[in-house]
A and B are shown apart, each in its own frame.
Chain A
Amino acid sequence: GAVVSQHPSRVICKSGTSVKIECRSLDFQATTMFWYRQFPKKSLMLMATSNEGSKATYEQGVEKDKFLINHASLTLSTLTVTSAHPEDSSFYICSAPPPSGEETQYFGPGTRLLVL
């Protein structure tokens, strides 16, 4: 089946630094990918829709200048958390729709970010 990977799986950084998270569709092309964030014991919250070759679409309340999304190819989307602060510590998960056209999503394994 289709697989979505994320890198890194875990990252610890100092406050004020930027962190880049990669999301790759391994055996299929994805013109659209989605980025979610999940705080402990909370639901996944959609942050933005990543569109290949065009600007990302951000959900209400998500700062586009803080969470930079680049979807440079049909298999890669990146999320950069700029000037990270401790409150940005969370579990970041990307997803991509399967090539079959089904409505479900394939989720990446997630990236746990800890900002000190």
Chain B
Amino acid sequence: QKEVEQNSGPLSVPEGAIASLNCTYSDRVSQSFFWYRQYSGKSPELIMSIYSNGDKEDGRFTAQLNKASQYVSLLIRDSQPSDSATYLCAVLSGPDSWGKFQFGAGTQVVVTP
């Protein structure tokens, strides 16, 4: 069974510091990876997508992908209280799984002033 694993947290981060979130996945053929942010009681919103090994930066967010290690991470620089949320890692396995995300359980991030 395909699995996406995340540390549930909570991850407590001082304001202005870097938050580091990790995600591992079991399906070696996974091709597309996404990070979503979900505030309590709300639906997920896309932060970043990453498809190739290496780093991808977008503002204060950096996604890192290592397909050999089946590992994807998210760094949040200069963390702000508004970044306090649950961060979901989502994986797509391939063309046959189009639209069918496998989600991790999420990591709760708490940014403390």
Question: Which residues does A use to contact B, with CB under 8 Å?
Answer: 32, 34, 41-46, 49, 91, 93, 95, 97, 102-105, 107-110, 112
Identify the closest chain B residue to A57 (Cβ): B100
Give the total number of A-B pairs whose CB atoms are below 8 A apart: 47
Q: Beyond A103-B49, A105-B101, A109-B43: 6 further Cβ-contacts under 8 Å?
A: A34-B100, A42-B105, A93-B43, A103-B98, A104-B46, A110-B43
Q: How far is the CB of B9 from chain A (nearest CB, A)?
A: 11
Interchain CB contact under 8 A, B42 and A109: yes
List 20 interface pairs A-B (beta carbons < 8 Å), by A numbering: A34-B99, A43-B88, A43-B103, A44-B44, A46-B100, A46-B101, A49-B99, A93-B43, A93-B44, A95-B99, A103-B49, A103-B92, A104-B46, A104-B49, A105-B99, A105-B101, A108-B43, A110-B41, A110-B43, A112-B41
Is B34 on the interface with A (CB-CB < 8 A)? yes
Q: How far is the CB of A79 from chain B (nearest CB, A)?
A: 15
Interface size class of B (residues with CB under 8 A): 20 to 34
Interchain CB contact under 8 A, A110 and B42: yes
Q: How far is the CB of B34 from chain A (nearest CB, A)?
A: 6
Interchain CB contact under 8 A, A44 and B101: yes
Contacts of B42 in A (CB 8 A): 109-110
Of A32, A34, A42, A104, chain B has the most CB atoms within 10 Å of the CB of A104
